[in-house]
Amino acid sequence: MDRESIARNQIMERYLGGRLPVKAVTDFERFCREHPELLDELGFPDRVNAALRLLEASGKPEPWQEAPKPIWQRPAAILGLAAVAAVLAIALSLVAVSSAGKTHKILELQRQVTDRTLDAATSTRVVRLLPNRTGASNSPAIVIGGGEAQLIDFRIDETRSPYKEFRITIDRVDQGRVMVIDNLSKDSNGHLRLAVNSSAFGPGNYLLTIEGLTMRLEPQPDSWVTIGVVQR
């Protein structure tokens, strides 16, 4: 193999195209090793540079580069996913514990309300309430209890509300739900009437969440009022 035969038989082109027999490949590589200047004469560096530019333009990696691994196979990503999974597991455990604790409190409060022995009401007290339409408050608008048991006749002013039917949810502030009263209607004065024995609830503050019921009986937030109960 010599320069003339290489040029005449297009050895360089066939080598680059992978079309040379194995023996010719060996002979050509040995000749280039012995005569490295041949590569410059054949314009091999220019061809290599042009091929690299084409790879770069197409976004393909160079042949000697390791193919990029999918993100889920990279060590940093695996460690990150493991850390996120651990944090989520801990968070879910805390939520489960908190939810179980709240459920226990709610059931205990409901049991206390159910089992509480009511004192006989010796009098009736009318309490008129103007609920807050902007949001709930922990400060009681009225305080009941502190003496002999009374029948408290709550009259909640809903004259400004467009709803006619209501649902009232009673929660003990910072403790849990006590009861839900459905399908209450306004009277002719636009008031919701709710009568309770003052000995029915333990001491504390109670939030009344008042929701209006649509034609489809879907509850919509309407107003809030907080009452306080003191120990006799």
Query: Where do we find the tokens 């060996």?
Result: 26
Total domain count, the chain: 3
Same domain, 10 and 107: no
Same domain, 13 and 51: yes
* 225 within a domain of the structure (yes/no): yes
Q: What pLDDT, on the 0 to 100 scale, is given for residue 37?
A: 83
pLDDT along the chain (232 residues), means of 10: 80 81 85 81 75 72 60 66 80 74 67 65 89 90 86 93 94 88 92 88 91 93 94 72
Q: What pLDDT, on the 0 to 100 scale, is given for residue 32?
A: 82
Same domain, 211 and 159: yes
Same domain, 107 and 202: no
Same domain, 219 and 136: yes
* 19 within a domain of the structure (yes/no): yes
The CATH number given to whatever domain includes residue 155 is 2.60.40.1930
Domain that includes residue 80, residue range:
71-115
Q: What is the pTM of this model?
A: 0.49
> Which residues lie closer than 8 Å to 191 by C-beta, 6 or more apart?
128, 155, 156, 157, 158, 159
* 66 within a domain of the structure (yes/no): no
